[in-house]
Chains A and B, each alone.
Chain A
Amino acid sequence: MKSSFNLDRRIIYAFVVIALAWPLINKYTVRPARMKSAEKLFEVVESTKPTPGQFAFVAFDFGPSTAAENAGQARVVVEHLMRRRIPVVLFTQYLLADPFLKSIPEKIISNLETEMPGQKWIYGKDWVNLGYRPGAGILIQSISKSKNLAETFLVDAYSTPLKDLPLFRRPTQLKNISLLTQFTGLVGLFDSYVQFFQTADYRPNFGHGCTSITIPEAYIYLDSGQLQGLLEGIAGAAWYSKLLSDKYPVRKPDEAILINTGLGIAHLLLIGLIILGNISGIISRRNS
């Protein structure tokens, strides 16, 4: 049965590209939708006090294939932690995430130091890059059981012994991790933290940034209390970015809201095309 309204798929692609690109070219943004799960994570970071010897453990388990969503989430959360002067220890179990462990914090620090002249975020004291570490569940278990993380990891991503860095000069263990945040599109890697990043008597607050595909799965963990906050795709990052801008008005806006606007317009286009396609189908059926 031939539809009365036959549109070449390439024209649809062109429409989608225009819908996504138009806000990027014109820097047009709309207010992102409120995401309660992102607000929860924001509140967890806000309630985490910068205590000496305590730090946030941040896992970037994403590569270029999901960086569109996960990198935006990682940027806003790491920025928030750095603004609150909570030391950040970055780490990945995913090989292709390695470049992001350097580029994202360096870009954030550059922006923060421009915004607040005179303030510095020093490597080794305010942030540490542990680099890529394979091992999945076994590695996460070894972190949980470690009596001294400097002896578990030995060196950072640049082969500097951890015990030479101010953050790890004193023995640190799981109890020194006040907050765990992990960004990934890989459910298996996320599971390894849910399962093993805890001891019988301590479990740090856990925030997670997932891709849009894995939202339905990740939401289960938020409902059960295994997650204290969740960033749902780029929409979660956009709302988190808005919360950050509300709290720090001098902050330079990031790209999460811009990308989210493009996505919103493209979604409207897709909904319009689905309705149009259905109307076309009904008309064709009646005519035949």
Chain B
Amino acid sequence: MIAVDLSIATTITAGVATLAIFSFLIKENPFYRLFEHIFIGIAAGLGIIQGLRYFLWPQILRPMLGYDILTFPDGTVSKPYDGAVLLYLIPMIFGLLYYFIYSQRHAWLAKLVIGFSLGASAGLAFKGFFAEMLPQLASSFKPLIVLENDQIVWWSSISNCIFIFTLLAVMYYFFFSIKADSAVEKKFSSSGRWLMMVCFGSFFGSTVMARLALLVERLQFLLVDWFNTLVSVV
């Protein structure tokens, strides 16, 4: 019964919160401000609690303290304590050194952590760059005339030509080493700019679409879940 009531209360509160945030569309008001502050507070607190609840406690602290070992009535245990989990202490202590950033005398200890993080991130980024970009570079080399059974596939050929022209024009636009003096060079460079404008337009269009998708999900919640819950309560 309590679980059912809690679910009703959750749905009603979520609906009120949604309307409060949407009320900003009419004008700035205290109702909106109140829920905005509640949201910011929850977002900050939730991250810490979820991190503790779903990661730090079950995966690190629980095995370290041996709380994941069951003791049966006959005295036997579900598994022996694995001392290797204590190795987690090393990165934990090393990570805690970061807090020495607040000490003027020992701030160099925090630099060890920062240096380690920077080095690891740089290494990962370097490896990731090649894994991500090389297939894209290779796929940029497209045939301008696509043949299938000795026949030209016109659509694919035209598509590849547009792709190659766009790629070269946009790259040329950002090529600042040589001044584009001739009319052909200027036109080529300016076509690169125009093609980028088309790209930005598609970005903007898809952004509008995404925002509307967010709104429609909230409307669905208000019109179906929230409204039905309100009706059931009333």
- Physical interaction between A and B: yes
The residues of A with any CB-CB pair to B shorter than 8 Å are 10, 13, 16-17, 20-21, 24-25, 65-69, 95-96, 98, 131-134, 137-138, 141, 154-155, 157, 159, 185, 191-192, 194-196, 198, 211-216, 220-221, 223-226, 233-235, 255, 259, 262-263, 266-267, 270
Expressed in whole angstroms, the Cα–Cα distance for A155 and B141 within the complex equals: 45
B112 proximal to A (CB < 8 A): no
Query: Smallest distance from the beta carbon of A234 to chain B beta carbons, Å?
Result: 5
How many A-B contacts are there with CB distance less than 8 Å? 127
Tell me the nearest residue of chain A to B63, going by C-beta.
A154
Q: Are B220 and A212 in contact (CB under 8 A)?
A: no
Residues of B with C-beta under 8 A to A223: 139
Further pairs besides A215-B202, A225-B135, A259-B220: 13, Cβ < 8 Å: A24-B216, A68-B217, A98-B54, A132-B54, A192-B128, A198-B131, A211-B210, A212-B209, A214-B206, A216-B206, A226-B136, A234-B213, A267-B212
Residues of A with C-beta under 8 A to B124: 137-138, 141
The residues of B with any CB-CB pair to A shorter than 8 Å are 25-26, 46-47, 50-51, 54-55, 58-59, 62-63, 68, 120, 124, 127-129, 131-132, 135-136, 138-139, 199, 202-203, 206-210, 212-220, 223-224
Tell me the nearest residue of chain A to B43, going by C-beta.
A96
Counting chain B CB atoms within 10 Å of each CB, which of A133, A195, A220 scores highest? A195
Residues of B with C-beta under 8 A to A215: 202, 206
Expressed in whole angstroms, the Cα–Cα distance for A285 and B46 within the complex equals: 53
Residues of A with C-beta under 8 A to B216: 20, 24, 68, 259, 262-263, 266
Q: Are B51 and A195 in contact (CB under 8 A)?
A: no
Using A131-B54, A194-B132 as known contacts, say yes or no to A16 and B215 having CB atoms under 8 A apart: yes
Expressed in whole angstroms, the Cα–Cα distance for A52 and B54 within the complex equals: 30
Expressed in whole angstroms, the Cα–Cα distance for A117 and B71 within the complex equals: 40
Query: Smallest distance from the beta carbon of A260 to chain B beta carbons, Å?
Result: 9
Expressed in whole angstroms, the Cα–Cα distance for A185 and B211 within the complex equals: 12
Tell me the nearest residue of chain A to B208, going by C-beta.
A270
